Amino acid sequence: MRRTVLAFIASAFLFSCSQKQSADKIYVNAKIWTGDSVNDRATAIAIKDNLIIYVGNDYTEFKGSGTAVIDVNGKMMVPGFIDNHTHFLGGGYQLSSVNLRNAKTQQDFISTLKEYAITHNDDRWIQGGDWDHEAWGGNLPTRNWIDSITGKHPVFIERYDGHMSLANSIALKLAGVDKNTPNPPGGEIVKDPKTGEPTGVLKDEATNLVFKVIPPPSQEELDEYLASAVKEAFEHGVTQICDMSTYGGWPDLATYRKAHANNKLDLRIYSFVPLRTWAKLDSFVKKEGWGDDVLHWGGLKGFVDGSLGSTTAWFYKPYLDAPTKTGLQVTDTTLLRQWVLSADSAGLHCATHAIGDRANDFILGVYEEAEKRNPDKDHRFRVEHAQHLTATAIRKFASLHVIPSMQPYHAIDDGKWAFKRLDSARLKGTYAFRTLLAEGANVTFGSDWTVAPLDPIAGIYAAVTRRTLDDKNPNGWFPDEKISVEQALRCYTTNNAYACFQENKLGRLKAGMLADFVILSDNILEIAPEKIRDIKVLRTIVNGKEVYLSK
């Protein structure tokens, strides 16, 4: 049904644009990569209201007495970037919370947190953090590091991948977590091997023991997080995000709907809610529809496993540095299968987090079963991350038409330390961008913000160079999986539009499409690959409206 409506709307767009009319704005003297295989290069683009009415070189017939002509001085223009995976409101919160991402030593970690606690001299929860224990050699932090410097604050700060957190003693006491608390299904309470006391580190589902006692943010706070996050997105040329939620999905969606109803939402958002709530979403869609071009919903996000950094990604073989562990099934696999099959039969869109090779094989098997049950349905199943794949899995993504929703920045980040966890045979199937594309899979790109920066330019740099952040792989980490700039651009634009059921509206610069585009400081197709990360976004345009202009 959704596909039929999209096709009808697209036809209406094209009909209206075929009538000659004066543009509101024409951007000229540009180097345009359109993403349209029929007309992939141009120098001018004309806009009427929120639609593109012309892309080409001779724009004179669209110039009227009231048309604004904007000379971009030979700069590069590309379709607006779409980010396939964010935790958007959490990202907005993180912009003003404690930042431990740059802590390279134990003392850095402690000093940064101490300074933040002193500056915020009250008893509010301290969250955020985004720490990475691999930065100081791999030793996990403990509550003993921070109890004496965090005052009255309960503290619950996440590892940057979101699959492991550190609580101080106040937070553990409020949550009722002690030496007698058992591991919940799909999670682990890390305990001191000598005393049996919790160290403060909680993994995956165990984090919910503390999350459930943290007061939820107020609506005013959520509105502030949204405003901050939208500003960050526009500064990086992001015109649409897929939100995999931070606050349980439904409060996030309510926040977006409120902003949209008040005409305060310029960013396009595809909002996902938890897979376990599929029946609630089914009822919601029947009552409220699917949303519109600015805000739409109908997507569900589930979990198979955890993360590589937290040793909770689910593998067939044990970790090299944790030989008794093969990871966690974060969700009961019987329940997960039932939810996917039920949601898909209801016409909803399923996306499932899978990191380890066994996790990916499992969810591909579930998707295959769903496709056999409903062979004529346009499923567009997504695997979020699709990080470590067997050769069989790589082929299945294409044959089953499953979308690998990947985040290339992770490759140059994880690549600094992944060899400690996995042998080279398994690492060969890690972030297999080129091979997936060669097999015909519809690879999409994003950030997983705040796990990685909300910055498509950084993601393109990562996909094209695969140079790890420690500069120890100048020719690329597993360089056979490097891809071209144009392939990376498509993964951030046309491919993402398809993954959001919007290929007839977004992802290309073409007459009849919505007017979302970005102007860059340099020609990303011609600049040396190692210089890509220095490119800046000069302007961001959404719906024909200029929402960001660099100073």
List the chain domain ranges. Answer: 1-80+507-551, 89-211
DSSP bridge partners of 155: 126
DSSP 467-494: --TTS--TT-SSGGG---HHHHHHHHTH
Inform me whether the pLDDT recorded for 2 exceeds 70. Answer: no
pLDDT at 354: 98
Inform me whether the pLDDT recorded for 7 exceeds 60. Answer: no
Lowest-pLDDT choice from 13-17, 224-228, 491-495, 521-525: 13-17
User: Which tens digits make up the pLDDT trace of 373-407?
Assistant: 999 999 999 999 999 999 999 999 999 999 999 99
Maximal C-alpha separation, the chain: 81
What pTM value is reported for the model? Answer: 0.90
* Average pLDDT over all residues of the chain: 94
Inform me whether the pLDDT recorded for 144 exceeds 70. Answer: yes
Confidence label for 116 from pLDDT (cuts 50, 70 and 90)? very high
- How far, in Å, CA of 159 to CA of 101, rounded? 9
- How far, in Å, CA of 444 to CA of 436, rounded? 11
DSSP 5-70: HHHHHHHHHHHHHHS----SEEEES-EEE-S-TTS-EESEEEEETTEEEEEES--GGG--TT-EEE
Inform me whether the pLDDT recorded for 17 exceeds 50. Answer: no
List the alpha helices (DSSP H) in 346-416.
357-373, 391-399, 409-414
**9: phi then psi, degrees, rounded to nearest 5:** -65, -45
Q: How is the beta sheet containing 81-86 ordered, strand by strand? A: 81-86, 238-243, 268-274, 295-303, 349-354, 382-385, 403-406, 444-445
Inform me whether the pLDDT recorded for 16 exceeds 70. Answer: no
- For the four alpha carbons of 373, 379, 383 and 389, in that order, the dihedral sign comes to positive
- How far, in Å, CA of 538 to CA of 365, rounded? 44
Contact 241, 226 (CB under 8 A): no
pLDDT at 298: 98
Cβ–Cβ contacts within 10 Å for residue 182, how many? 7
Residue 355 amino acid letter: I
Inform me whether the pLDDT recorded for 445 exceeds 90. Answer: yes
User: Which tens digits make up the pLDDT trace of 41-88?
Assistant: 999 999 999 999 999 999 999 999 999 999 999 999 999 999 999 999
Confidence label for 8 from pLDDT (cuts 50, 70 and 90)? very low
- How far, in Å, CA of 329 to CA of 336, rounded? 10
Q: Which of 489, 547, 551, 546 is nearest to 232 (CA)?
A: 547
Confidence label for 161 from pLDDT (cuts 50, 70 and 90)? confident
Contact 214, 56 (CB under 8 A): no
- How far, in Å, CA of 114 to CA of 145, rounded? 10
Contact 487, 524 (CB under 8 A): no
Domains 1-80+507-551 and 89-211 share a fold: no
**CA distances, 448 to each of 41, 313, 408, 427, 455 (Å):** 31, 16, 10, 21, 10
Inform me whether the pLDDT recorded for 505 exceeds 80. Answer: yes
DSSP state of 267: S
Per-residue pLDDT averaged across 142-159, rounded? 94
Inform me whether the pLDDT recorded for 25 exceeds 50. Answer: yes
DSSP bridge partners of 430: 388
3-state secondary structure of 322: coil
Per-residue pLDDT averaged across 147-158, rounded? 94
Q: Give the CATH class of 89-211.
A: alpha beta
Packing angle of the helix pair 357-373, 391-399 (nearest 10 deg): 30
Residue 178 neighbours by CB under 8 Å, 6+ apart: 172, 197, 198
pLDDT at 88: 97
Confidence label for 3 from pLDDT (cuts 50, 70 and 90)? very low
Inform me whether the pLDDT recorded for 162 exceeds 90. Answer: no
Residue 347 neighbours by CB under 8 Å, 6+ apart: 1, 282, 285, 377
CATH fold of 1-80+507-551, please?
Urease, subunit C; domain 1 (2.30.40)
Inform me whether the pLDDT recorded for 140 exceeds 90. Answer: yes
Q: Is 328 left (phi over 0), alpha (psi -120 to 50) or beta?
A: beta
User: Which tens digits make up the pLDDT trace of 508-523?
Assistant: 999 999 999 999 999 9
Inform me whether the pLDDT recorded for 13 exceeds 60. Answer: no
User: Which tens digits make up the pLDDT trace of 169-219?
Assistant: 999 999 999 999 999 999 999 999 999 999 999 999 999 999 999 998 999
User: From start to end of 193-317, where are the E strands?
Assistant: 198-204, 238-243, 268-274, 295-303
Give the CB-side neighbour count of residue 17, counting CA atoms within 13 A.
Answer: 22
User: Helix/strand/coil (H, E, C) string of 283-316?
Assistant: HHHHHHCCECCCEEEEEEEEECCCCCCCCCCCCC
Inform me whether the pLDDT recorded for 249 exceeds 50. Answer: yes
Question: How many residues appear in the chain?
Answer: 551
